[in-house]
Amino acid sequence: MSVAPIGKDLLGLEHLSAEQIQLILDTAGPFKDVSLRAIKKVPTLRGMTIVNLFFEASTRTRISFEFAEKRLSADTVNVATSGSSVQKGETLVDTARNLEAMKIDMVVIRHGASGAPKFLAERIASNVINAGDGTHEHPTQGLLDMLTLRDRWGSLAGRRVCICGDVLHSRVARSNIWGLKKMGAEVAVCGPRSLLPNAIDQLGVHVFSRIEEAIEWAEALNILRLQLERMQGGYIPSLREYNRVFGVTRERLERAPRDVIVMHPGPMNRGVEIDSDVADGPHSVILDQVTNGVAIRMAVLYLLAGGRPELADAAKGS
């Protein structure tokens, strides 16, 4: 396989350049059109085999990768912990090496352990794409969030985005911070001190402790899910209290000095970090994020496959 313009693997946005991020966002454009056609399929990755290894629950990312692969004509196999030999104690590397023995080309992996995709990428020849690892990164989510904002604004440079809520446990927050800052945006975080990482200001972000201040400052809010499954207790007094102090509500948005774009990576805790009339309201681009996820994942798959011009022609012309 030829050397890809974004490298062999996509493990995170921390180590991508602004030019590489720009390339992925630009490449997603033509792929968006594929999903609008009556026949949503191009032969771009015909003959390639991609394994989706999902060791943590997922709706959007898993299905979106599968649609992206199928729309590019790749052959796909889905492996989950349940029903696989992982349940019998097989290691991640043994699982991947056995899959490679069946001549696969790429692995898309979601794993509860931060660093699992990198660990795998160093040990197998196939391209590895991180579909979310522990609290580390979720690069394709960061990319689809940036594409959604770029669709609205034309450019991310100088724009103000606040990431709100459970930043401590959020791989989405980390990918957004790395990506947005590289693209010239100003980034802030807002949440209770217990849900912000200790050294968060060292990432070059503004820190707000009041949601009202964040809403006054921001042009876009990316509202994070409270990851209750990663909390051992003691982070917040109660869900009701969290909503009262940090919830993004219609009343709070109405006091904003400008129209604020509302984003959420999903799945949402309605009535906790975001109220339903905000999630479903006129400022929300939450379903646009989901639509853009397919195009971003098509772009990443295409670029990792080598980004060869004849593949791009196939995407445009078929």
Rounded to a whole number of angstroms, the minimum distance from the CB of residue 116 to ligand CP is 15
Rounded to a whole number of angstroms, the minimum distance from the CB of residue 98 to ligand CP is 25
CA 18 to chain centre: 17
Check if the beta carbon of residue 191 is closer than 8 Å to that of residue 223.
Answer: no
Q: Which stretch binds ligand CP (CB under 6 A): 29-37, 59-67, 153-161, 176-184?
A: 59-67
Q: Which stretch binds ligand CP (CB under 6 A): 56-64, 96-104, 195-203, 300-308?
A: 56-64
H helices of the chain, where?
18-36, 60-71, 92-101, 116-121, 139-153, 171-182, 211-217, 239-246, 250-254, 276-279, 286-304, 309-317
Q: Which of 117, 132, 134, 142 binds ligand CP (CB under 6 A)?
A: 132
Q: Which stretch binds ligand CP (CB under 6 A): 44-52, 54-62, 65-73, 97-105?
A: 54-62
For tokens 């056609």, name the residue: 37
Residue number closest to ligand CP, CB atom: 61
Q: How many CB atoms lie within 10 A of CB 244?
A: 11
Binding flag, residue 58, ligand CP (CB under 6 A): yes
Rounded to a whole number of angstroms, the minimum distance from the CB of residue 172 to ligand CP is 7
* DSSP H or E segment with residue 190: strand 186-190
Binding flag, residue 135, ligand CP (CB under 6 A): no
Pick 73 or 81: Cβ nearer ligand CP: 81
Pick 207 or 228: Cβ nearer ligand CP: 228
Looking at residue 206, its amino acid is H
Pick 58 or 291: Cβ nearer ligand CP: 58
Tell which phi-psi region holds residue 309, choosing left (phi > 0), alpha (psi between -120 and 50) or beta: alpha
List CB contacts of 34: < 8 A, sequence separation 6 or more: 40, 41, 42, 71, 295, 298, 315
Residues near ligand CP (CB under 6 A), total = 10
Report how far residue 164's alpha carbon sits from residue 91's, in angstroms, rounded to the nearest whole number.
Answer: 36
Pick 135 or 141: Cβ nearer ligand CP: 141
Check if the beta carbon of residue 104 is closer than 8 Å to that of residue 126.
Answer: yes
List CB contacts of 52: < 8 A, sequence separation 6 or more: 62, 65, 66, 69, 76, 77, 78, 79, 108, 131
Looking at residue 5, its amino acid is P
List CB contacts of 240: < 8 A, sequence separation 6 or more: none
Pick 61 or 126: Cβ nearer ligand CP: 61
Footprint of ligand CP on residues 65-84 (CB under 6 A)?
none
Q: Which stretch binds ligand CP (CB under 6 A): 27-35, 52-60, 159-167, 275-283?
A: 52-60
Footprint of ligand CP on residues 258-277 (CB under 6 A)?
265-267
Classify 274 as helix, strand or coil: strand
Binding flag, residue 61, ligand CP (CB under 6 A): yes
Binding flag, residue 292, ligand CP (CB under 6 A): no
Binding flag, residue 170, ligand CP (CB under 6 A): no
Binding flag, residue 141, ligand CP (CB under 6 A): yes
Check if the beta carbon of residue 107 is closer than 8 Å to that of residue 129.
Answer: yes
Pick 52 or 61: Cβ nearer ligand CP: 61
Q: Which of 15, 17, 59, 287 binds ligand CP (CB under 6 A)?
A: 59
Pick 145 or 219: Cβ nearer ligand CP: 145
Rounded to a whole number of angstroms, the minimum distance from the CB of residue 279 to ligand CP is 14
Angle at which helix 60-71 crosses helix 18-36, to 10 degrees, equals: 70
Give the pair of three-digit tokens for residue 55.
């060791």
Residues of the shown chain interacting with ligand CP in the complex, contacts defined by CB under 6 A: 58-61, 132, 138, 141, 265-267
